[in-house]
Amino acid sequence: MYKKAKLILLSTLAISLIMVSCGDPAENMNKTMADFSDKCISEEYDCKCWESKVKEHFKTDEAYMKYWEKHSAMPDELINKLGECSLNEDFDF
């Protein structure tokens, strides 16, 4: 009986630790256009171009934040614009 109780206690502690360490998913959200632009992969994209396309599309951080409150994916128009920043010559939509 003692071994079962110990196993249950350790399992509960392990699960609790995992749940706490994962954090709030909202913490990983891009809160500004700069946060989003920082995720540019420099080996695949011209990051200056990427940043300018994001700013050109959303115009302000407020517009950016409002968009992400209601959506979970990038707008198609922005995806097409970001494709223009690809460093891969064979990149095609």
pLDDT tens-digit readout, 5-58: 555 645 554 554 454 455 444 445 567 878 878 888 889 999 999 899 999 999
Token digits of residue 61? 């951080």
pLDDT at 87 over 70: yes
- Do residues 88 and 44 lie in contact, with contact meaning Cβ atoms separated by under 8 Å? yes
d(CA 43, CA 25): 27
* Predicted pLDDT at 7: 52
